[in-house]
Structure 1
Amino acid sequence: MRLFVRLFALCCALLSLPSLAEPVSGLYQVREAVTSQQPEERGVVLGKALETLVLRLTGDAQALQASGLEGVRKDPQQLVSQYVYEGDTLIVDFDPLTTENKLRQAGLALWGANRPAILAWWLNAGVEGFSLLGDGQEAAAPLRQAAQNRGLPLRLPLADLQEQLLATPETLGADQPDALQPASERYAADALLAVQAREEGGQWQAEWRLWLGDSREQGKAQGADQNALADAVLLAVSERLAPRFVVKPGTAGALLVEVQGTDLARYANLASLLEPFAARLIKVKGDQLTWQVNASAAQLRAQLALAGLQEIPVDAAPLDAAAPAGSAPAAAPANLLRFRW
């Protein structure tokens, strides 16, 4: 009982070891451009804001067309807690609980707020050569705005002289991010995004590559200006990442997750990562915690990889952490996955 009290106190204090995945702030706030404050336009813009939010939460461009959402498509305001005009922008705050309940009732699975932190190496080509977008630069504003719009935690390099020299078209266009990884380590990101952008024929074009763990995604995007291009790139990235973390209805099941090497600080981190899966802590024994979750094995592996946990074979060691060394492993449940820090 004393251990559980300490764990609860820890969570309330929000103490944790450094974690790569991070919660997205403002996940349920959407900003949309407007030309007036007329009620007719406001209704249209609220519909656009709802579309942006549902795509942000599901990663599925067709999710809003679900039959169970017909009512909110006609009247998005039933999910809105407040809205306010700020210049030529309508800022819409959706109620998280009401929105989540409505989407789940429609049979949609949601992507939680803990998402991979992305380090973006964004190289713009111009008449004077190449320029790397860096943190704090005014030119990086479209990228930061696009990241907020698409619900992605984004980090930018400092773009100092050494990094400017590193970020060449050859480096960013490589099949593997070997040259970028040493310089990227200090930013503690989950994924690397390499983008080469240029203006061509009055349009902005980009080629992008994304690395997350051992996997790689790539694609092309275009936009009328740099704002539109940044949004197109990060929309594509979001749509590629979401399937790793969102489980479609019917594909999830009850799993047991055993995590070894857990201390109090790591518990808070782990509880946050498992929260989207209706996690329930069912056993604490030494540094070994066992949770019951509702998820697919693939999704669970992807989520825990964000915190650097390593999967271990179910029969690699006794399930009982207090069992004598060399003893035979106990029979493992068929739905058990095991990890260690």
Structure 2
Amino acid sequence: MRFCKLLFVGCLTLVSLASHAENLKGLYQVRQPVNGQAPEERDRATQAALDTLVLRLTGDPKAAQNPGLAPIRKDPQQIISQFGFDAGPPEVLKVDFDPATTEQALRRAGLPVWGASRPSILGWWLNDSTEGASLVGDGQAAAATLRTAAQHRGLPLRLPLADLSEQLVATAPALESADPAPLRSASERYSADALLAVHAREEGGQWQAKWRLWLGDQKEAGSVQGADQAAVADAVMLAVAERLAPRFVAKPGASGQQTLEVQGMNLEHYAALLRLLEPFGVRLQSVQGDRIVYRVNGSVDQLRAQLSLAKLQELPAEAPVPVAPAQPAADGTPAVAAPTPAAAAPSLRFRW
């Protein structure tokens, strides 16, 4: 069959995701501020970069202290491919961690891993200072601060154009409201998975921000503080990442195996699906026409959340095939009941 013959080609072909989810670039690169290039300062920044990466990949603020990571903390060079300094300002240590050895170290420690395919977030961000209120739009100077914070915390952030019509919608009351309807309407043109509304205010030389996040049926909210715009942006992105991660990370051995069937497959869907399922230890079981079956590790809720990023439609579980009752033999010998078949593994069924 055509799809079967093209599977190998699909593995080698890079195509865009048929969903709003983004395959986050630079997930394993951390830019950590430093005070000079002295060896002790470099070591301090390297440890901080490792902590940042572990939090970025697990969403767990306590994960970096896991005893299973002690050898890596003692010698981070085991999982570092290269590093260098950028003059700035501010001066930063740029550390590139090796994806394969990093993931191996996390899994050996029994830690979950959040893959690179993550929900795209449209950020409506209003800065309110003594100079007035300003909606941060794509292309503005303030946008760089938000993008840096989002990248640091492993979030794919998009920003609106912030044209006049959007400025009239994204007011302070709208951004602090529990009703996302006005923002949802203005967000349709950007096709993002999640909606983030932030009202940041400067008071007495300090910044504080109230934020709200909507992703499907998930609603989150909180408030943070920071010394400046960069600090408060980082605090918001950290809070958002920690709220999102539990919905998507796959904890090794904690959730069991699932059988996943997906219908309507083609080469583009195949490549997109592999990226989405990568954190769940995906293994191909069978291919029949445009129907494919995988064995994956993870909870049903986590898999549903991950597949929702590709806008797949869930199908009802297939009814079990009835077993015909045993019939007596022609000579009247009583029939021997057939052994009861073993219960099938939990199954999820989706289609594009």
TM-score, normalising length: structure 1: 0.92
Give the direction of change, closer, same or farther, for the CA distance of 1:254–1:317 in structure 2 (3 Å limit).
closer
Alignment map for 1:1-341 (pairs within 5 Å): 2-16=2-16, 18-87=18-87, 88-315=91-318, 333-341=344-352
Superposed CA offset, 1:106-153 (max 9, x none): 111110110110000001113354211011111111101001100111
Q: Distance in 1 between matches of 2:275 and 2:106?
A: 21
Contact 1:314 1:332 in 2 (8 A): no
Measured at CA, do residues 249 and 91 of structure 1 come closer, stay the same or move farther in structure 2, by a change above 3 Å? same
Q: Which runs of 5+ in 1 are unaligned?
A: 319-330
Q: Is the 8 A contact 1:315 1:332 kept in 2?
A: no
Question: One-letter code of the match for 2:168?
Answer: L
Q: Give the AA of the match of 2:93.
A: L
Take 1:249 and 1:6, find their aligned partners in 2: how far apart are those partners?
A: 31
Alpha-carbon distance between aligned partners in 1 of 2:17 and 2:211, rounded to the nearest angstrom: 31
Instruction: Name the counterpart of 2:325.
Output: none
Distance 2:50 2:17 in 1: 35
Number of residue pairs matched by the alignment = 329
Partner of 1:328: none
Distance (whole Å) between structure 2 residues aligned to residue 249 and residue 143 of structure 1: 32
8 Å CA contact 1:143, 1:227 repeated in 2: yes
In our comparison, the structure showing a higher alpha carbon Rg is 2
Same amino acid, percent of matched pairs: 62
Q: For residues 70 and 163 of structure 1, what CA distance do their matches in structure 2 show?
A: 49
Letter in 2 for 1:264: L
Q: CA deviation at 1:170?
A: 2.1
- What secondary structure does 2:115 align onto? coil
User: In the alignment, is the contact (CA less than 8 A) between 2:86 and 2:92 conserved in 1?
Assistant: yes
Q: What is the Cα deviation at residue 203 of structure 1? A: 0.9
Does the CA contact (< 8 Å) of 1:58 and 1:246 recur in 2?
A: yes
Q: Provide the C-alpha distance between the structure 1 equivalents of 2:344 and 2:179, rounded to a whole number of angstroms.
A: 38
Residue aligned with 1:35, SS: coil
The alpha-carbon deviation at position 332 of structure 1 amounts to 8.7
3-state DSSP of counterpart to 2:311: coil
Q: CA deviation at 1:6?
A: 1.2
Shift of 1:249: 3.8
Name the SS of the counterpart of 1:289 in structure 2.
strand
The answer on whether the counterparts of 1:16 and 1:266 sit within 8 Å (CA) in structure 2 is no
The separation in 1 between residues aligned to 2:250 and 2:271, in whole angstroms, is 23
Quote the offset at 1:197 in angstroms.
0.3
Q: Distance in 2 between matches of 1:7 and 1:17?
A: 16
1:10 Cα offset (Å): 2.9
**Which stretch shifts more, 53-62 or 258-267?**
258-267
TM-score normalized by the length of structure 2: 0.89
Deviations, residues 24-80 of structure 1 (Å, cap 9, x unaligned): 111111111111111111111110010000000100111011111112222222221
Structure 2 gaps, min length 5: 322-341
Give the aligned residue type for 2:106: L
CA contact (8 A) 1:198 1:205 kept: yes
Q: Deviations over 1:275-316 (max 9, x none)?
A: 221212222223222111111111101100011112221037
Q: Which stretch shifts more, 121-130 or 238-247? A: 121-130
- Structure 2 residue identity aligned to 1:59: G
Q: Structure 1 248/267 Cα, relative in aligned 2: closer, same or farther at 3 Å? A: closer
Amino acid at match of 2:92: T
